[in-house]
Structure 1
Amino acid sequence: MATTSTGDIEKTKSVEVKKKLNVLIVDDDPVIRKLHEIIIKSIGGISQTAKNGEEAVNIHRDGNASFDLILMDKEMPERDGLSATKKLREMKVTSMIIGVTTLADNEEEHAFDFHFN
């Protein structure tokens, strides 16, 4: 709240500040990066992208990066999602990190294989 004083009368004015969701999208597929950007923008958020885990680490290396959420692809060149996540945690990055992938191997396919009688 902001308070202004005019003589003996104080006026209080409510100041509403909406913080936009700030997301780092880490994916080697440009189509997937763009799709995530569109979704984040549609909910009023802002985003930055990285083409692989190494870029994500480098973005945080100088200490000036701060994201509410990191969408991290599983398989990428240079540094995969798991390795990048481990490195970011070692660097004390506290952003929520969600692993995403567009690939499905047999094990993952079976995890979603429902049988109905």
Structure 2
Amino acid sequence: MKTPQLVLIAEDEAINRMFLVKIVERAGFSALEAQTGEEAIRVYERRGEEVGIILMDLSMPEKDGLEAARELRAQGVTTPILALTAHSSEEDRSLCLEAGMNEVLIKPVQIQAVQDALQRYLGSPAS
């Protein structure tokens, strides 16, 4: 079975979302976008079988990234979730991991860090 190739980007700031979409597309993958944690859950419920990784901002309206990650994990979702946050303390990292996130990417995110994560979790894009 091939790895799902879509990247779900949950980020409330439009400029950050556009930046992440460009990185994802340049790496050869396609992106789905959500502006809130609640919207990310709804998008995943519709298209989850196609999603290979979720990039989840922590600070979003409606439902933050930690709440959204916990809810997805409670539903049995095993898709990798990477936190996007400007908070780099060990306590923040622990909160992310306890919520079921796989890794933490510190903002401002570095292009190479996102590309490396995509490679780790998705491999090479399908041709």
- Contact 1:24/1:49 (8 A) holds in 2: yes
Identify the residue that residue 11 of structure 1 maps to in structure 2: none
TM-score by length of 1: 0.67
1:74 is matched with which residue?
58
Specify the SS of the correspondent of 2:63: coil
Q: 1:89 to 1:104 in 2, by over 3 A?
A: closer
Matches of 1:42 and 1:61, distance apart in 2:
26
Query: Which structure has the higher relative contact order (CA within 8 Å, separation 6+)?
Result: 2
1:85 and 2:69 matched: yes
Following the alignment from structure 1 to structure 2, what is the Cα–Cα distance between the partners of residues 85 and 99? 9
Specify every segment of 5 or more residues in structure 1 that has no aligned partner in the other structure, as ranges: 1-17, 109-117
Q: Which has the higher strand share?
A: 1
1:98 matched to 2:82? The reply is: yes
State the shift of 1:20 in Å. Answer: 7.0
Rounded to whole Å, the distance in 1 between the matches of 2:70 and 2:20 is 22
The percentage of counterpart residues that share the same residue type is: 35
Q: Contact between 1:20 and 1:46, CA under 8 Å: does it hold in 2? A: no
Aligned partners of 2:3 and 2:52 also within 8 Å: no
Higher CA-based Rg: 1
Greater helix share, structure number: 2
Structure 1 runs of 4+ aligned residues shifted over 2 Å read 18-21
Aligned length: 88
| Alpha carbons 2:4, 2:52 under 8 Å: kept | no
Three-state SS of the structure 2 residue aligned to 1:55 is helix
- Amino acid paired to 2:13: D
Deviation at 1:61, TM superposition (A): 3.1
Q: Any unmatched runs of 5+ in structure 2? A: 91-127
Q: Do the aligned residues in 2 keep the contact of 1:75 with 1:81 (CA within 8 Å)?
A: yes
Paired position in structure 1 for 2:17 = 33
- Who is 2:48 aligned against? 65
